Amino acid sequence: MPVDDERNTLQIGPPQREGHTAITQSMADAVRRRIEAAGGELAVWAVLREDVYETRFGDGFYLHVAGLALNSEDAHALAALAGDSPWVRWHVKAYQLGLAAGRPAFLRSWPKEEEFTIADFVEILAGIPPGKACSKLCTGVQLYRHGPFIELPAK
């Protein structure tokens, strides 16, 4: 059962927040097909970026999605490729996606400190080409589409 949380409502069309990516129907359909192919529940591992400066001296502990993988091994490899630094710490966490009214949705709640929405996951997941198991990892501090990016070497 999808989580009842405004962050879990996927809006097709113009973004809810200025500067964010517009989610197209084709993006939502690509993720829906992945969920259906997985039997209605898709496990996704997120590589989450923690701004250590903000944790220590700013507003507190927050995580932002910087990349996604369809398996734990690739997610941990992306995080290791980026490497922790004094100012950035990488976390890997699993999430379950399903469908709500035919649209991708999280099946379990997540803390408010994890500052992302289902639209963020759809944007990144839709960009993973068929046959690949992970996205690029955004190592910048802006929105995902702004980069810069690193990626795992081809297998």
For every one of its 155 residues, what pLDDT tens digit does the chain have, with 9 covering 90 and above?
678 889 999 989 987 777 778 999 999 999 999 999 999 999 999 999 999 988 999 899 999 999 999 999 999 999 999 999 999 999 999 999 999 999 999 999 999 999 999 999 999 999 999 889 999 999 988 778 888 999 999 87
Residue 16 lies in a domain: no
Pairing label, strands 88-100, 103-106? antiparallel
Residue 120 maps to a domain = yes
Q: Convert 59-79 to b/e letters by CB count within 10 Å (16 or more is b).
A: eeebbbbbbbbbeeebbebbb
Please state the pTM of the whole predicted model: 0.93
Distance of CA 23 to the CA centre of its chain: 14
Q: Which tokens in the block code for residue 23?
A: 């989610």
Name the nearest CA neighbour of 87 among 145, 140, 147.
Answer: 140
Residue 52 lies in a domain: yes
At 112, the amino acid letter reads K
Q: Are 41 and 107 in contact (CB under 8 A)?
A: yes
Q: How much of the chain, in percent, has pLDDT values that exceed 90?
A: 78
155 domain-assigned: no
Note whether 127 and 145 are within 8 A (CB): no
Alpha-carbon dihedral of residues 11, 14, 17, 19, nearest 10 degrees?
Answer: 140
Q: Looking at the domain assignment, is residue 134 inside a domain?
A: yes
- Does residue 139 form part of some domain? yes
Host domain of residue 113: 6-11+22-150
Query: Is position 142 within any domain?
Result: yes
* Residue 135 burial by Cβ neighbours in a 10 Å radius (0-12, 13-18, 19+): buried
| Residue 133 domain-assigned (yes or no) | yes
Composition of the chain by helix, strand, coil, percent to 5: 30, 25, 45
pLDDT for 155 equals 73
Return the residue matching tokens 């590589």: 47
What's the number of domains the chain is made of?
Answer: 1
